Amino acid sequence: MLLVALLLLSSPMLLAEGQSFCSNTNILHMPNSTYMSNLNSLAKALFANVTNSNSHSANGTAGTSPNKVYGVVICRGDTAPGNDCANRLNKVLDAAINNNASSSCSSQKNITLFGHGYLAQLRFSDQDFISSFSNAPECTVSANLNPLPVGDASEHFNKLFYKMMVKLTDSMVSKTIKYKTGEGWLSETSQTVYGLVQCTEGMLPEACQDCLRSTITKREQMVGSGQMGGAILGVHCSLWYQTGVQFFAGHPMLSLSMPTPNKFWIWITIGSFSVIVSVSWLLIHIWIKTERKRERARYELQLLSIAIQNVLNLWRIEEGNSGFSLYDFAQIKEATDNFSSENKLGQGGFGPVYKGLLPGGLEVAVKRLAACSVQGLLEFKNEIQLIAKLQHKNLVKLLGCCIQGDQEKMLVYEYMQNKSLDLYIFDSKKRAQLNWSMRLHIIDGIAQGILYLHKHSRLCIVHRDLKASNILLDSDMTPKISDFGMARIFSSNAMELNTTRIVGTHGYISPEYAFDGVCSVKSDVFSFGVLVLEIISGKRTTGFYPYDGKLYNLISYAWKLWRVGEWCQLVCCRIGNNHEMMERCIQVGLLCVQESAEDRPAMDHVLTMLNSKNVNLPKPKQPAYFFVRSSLLSSEPEVPSSNINISITLER
């Protein structure tokens, strides 16, 4: 029989304060041992996995027998995934350890923690419970509500509960997101019953369905047939329900037998409302919604600030000699002349960027985080975790950062004298400064930097926001890739990731990422292909250009010209006469922007094609985003479009 160690942190919406459930055992003893060392290592790895995969759960193992540890961690589906979930799990484990640090209990190798306050649970064992999909040990809890009277009301409640939970289970198991919420109407008591079911992410549909079906049938004996609220929490699947109070976040995903209002009273209500009442209701609604958003933003900012501080602490301990520095605010303030407008280099989504001069004559670029920016904090944390560990001549060097209290957060980079690539290729005067050899040098440098990220760095990294404004140029016009706020780390065996949050810039995002949320190294290859066409043509990818009486976007325009052998019309101004190499570069660019990710070459092959004249290039297929418009103004040379940064959330 497993010893269950329970951590109870009560939730005001589901549990009464101080209520205990499952067992009176609340001791978690973790003596110094190989097993517990493996357990702690596994817990950190699982928390990191949850963060990196932006998910709600993770499982894995650590160590070897007899001290091998199996573990599963999971947050409830209606909480925020990724970093927020990892923080919840970490707090549950820390609270359990700190609460029982003085215990003299003997070592236990089977540990299960349910933290209702954080809506998170963890299980560790020396036995393989992961592959067996065993849901034991299961924890039950009943809400502090008056039970239904015995009789018809209780019977109707039980029927509604069973019907709703089965429907939630059946409609959820085949989905990627392994949780679902619902509501049902109990007409006998005129109350709404709310429910939530969840399985561990990655669980097979059949196993998830069997697990939940078994749990649903146990409710009457485990929670009590008359209880109007409660939960059964297991290792692989769980369910929650409550009458009268919606305990989960967001709108119910499924509604069952909800009442339809009487039309007569609807018309009476509509007729009774005056303009003043309507306006008042709208203002109150806007105020409440705004306050909720502000509260959520404050909470997320607090969590991110804690996470950033943890990252910096690790830098102090582990990377003391890496060249990454922590600057004083007064030092940065003096270097930028108190962030004067004369030293301002530009303004991005992250915040303003200033030129600075440090003691000793070192020129730097300082990105100052805009106050109260959740997205900015995410990018700040991402950059100090990623780019500070990357070293390559074609990547911008992050020298360090500066943090002053809760308000000031800055990143300090090496200064690029020639600023960004877009200021040259899209400017009618400056573009003439870039001859063909310089443009080829820039194309090759960008490709070398991307190849390093994909293949030769310690981590496989997909940038996800490659564009002309993120390519900086030093005094020798050597290109350096910058802005790693959107970058993602790939594990060594992962070819692609699926995500519901699409980030990047319109015109540079690959079609499989934009429409299906599938991100891979081929996403960066697509962006590189767009960059090549922009560098050669001096035209923006978001513009429309006339050909044969119609308007085409840049990718389609380049493909049409290449197919009929008129590719010379694409080349910007008089940049040289190396026609063979120009044609080769255009063809490589078109190979990189093909519709299918599988057809696009990897970056090492791209470099081979660019640098070896002996390599025969395949013919590119029709590219992605083949947009055509009727030309209303045939004399207009081009119809430009704005360069728009986008962040899309896809619901699947």
Predicted TM-score (pTM) above 0.85: no
Contact 30, 73 (CB under 8 A): no
What pLDDT sits at residue 371?
A: 62
Contact 29, 108 (CB under 8 A): yes
Among 110-114, 494-498, 637-641, the least confident range? 637-641
Contact 609, 615 (CB under 8 A): yes
pLDDT in tens, 556-586: 999 999 999 999 999 987 787 888 899 999 9
What Rg do the C-alpha atoms of the chain give, in angstroms?
29
SS3 per residue for 294-332:
HHHHHHHHHHHHHHHHHHHHHHHHHCCCCCCEECCHHHH
Stretch 92-108: mean pLDDT, rounded?
A: 66
pLDDT in tens, 58-97: 999 999 988 999 999 999 999 999 999 999 999 988 888 7
**Would you say the CATH fold of 422-649 matches that of 143-259?**
no
What pLDDT sits at residue 521?
A: 93
Nearest of 47, 68, 84, 81 to residue 124 by alpha carbon: 68
Task: Report the C-alpha gap between 219 and 503 in whole angstroms.
Answer: 43
H or E segment at 356? strand 352-357
Phi and psi based region of residue 559 (left: phi greater than 0; alpha: psi -120 to 50; beta: remaining): alpha
Length of the chain: 652
pLDDT band at 2; cut points 50, 70, 90: very low
What pLDDT sits at residue 354?
A: 94
One CATH from 1.10.132, 2.40.128, 3.30.2450, 3.30.430 for 34-132: 3.30.430
The sign of the CA dihedral 98, 99, 102, 108 is negative
pLDDT in tens, 244-291: 889 999 999 999 877 766 666 566 667 677 777 778 888 888 988 888
H or E segment at 71? strand 69-75
Task: Report the C-alpha gap between 445 and 477 in whole angstroms.
Answer: 10
Check if 474 is active-site: no
**CATH assignment, 143-259:** 3.30.430.20
Residue 370: is it exposed, middle or buried by C-beta count within 10 angstroms (0-12/13-18/19+)?
middle
What DSSP string runs through 12-68? TTTS-TT---S-S-------SSHHHHHHHHHHHHHHHHHHHHT-SEEEEEES-TTS-
Residues 6+ apart with CB under 8 A from 389: 319, 322, 458, 459
Q: Could you tell me how far CA 624 lies from the centroid of its own chain?
A: 25
Q: Does domain 303-414 have CATH number 3.30.200.20?
A: yes
User: Mean pLDDT for the chain?
Assistant: 81
pLDDT in tens, 204-231: 899 999 999 999 988 877 776 567 788 8
Q: Please pick, among 84, 465, 483, 524, the residue that the annotation labels catalytic.
A: 465
Residue 292: is it exposed, middle or buried by C-beta count within 10 angstroms (0-12/13-18/19+)?
exposed
pLDDT band at 642; cut points 50, 70, 90: very low
What pLDDT sits at residue 107?
A: 59
More confident residue, 270 or 632: 270
Fold classified for 422-649 = Transferase(Phosphotransferase); domain 1 (1.10.510)
| pLDDT exceeds 50 at position 178 | yes
Question: Can the peptide bond before residue 137 be classed as cis, meaning omega within 30 degrees of 0?
Answer: yes
| pLDDT exceeds 80 at position 108 | no
Backbone phi and psi for residue 381, each to the nearest 5 degrees, phi listed first:
-65, -40
Task: Report the C-alpha gap between 356 and 353 in whole angstroms.
Answer: 10
What angle is formed at CA 522 by the lines to CA 516 and CA 527, rounded to 5 degrees? 90
Sequence spans of domains, the chain: 34-132, 143-259, 303-414, 422-649
Percent of the chain beyond pLDDT 90? 43
What DSSP string runs through 626-641? --EEE-S-TT-S-B--
Task: Report the C-alpha gap between 253 and 194 in whole angstroms.
Answer: 11
- Per the DSSP assignment, residues forming a β-bridge with 74 are 57, 121
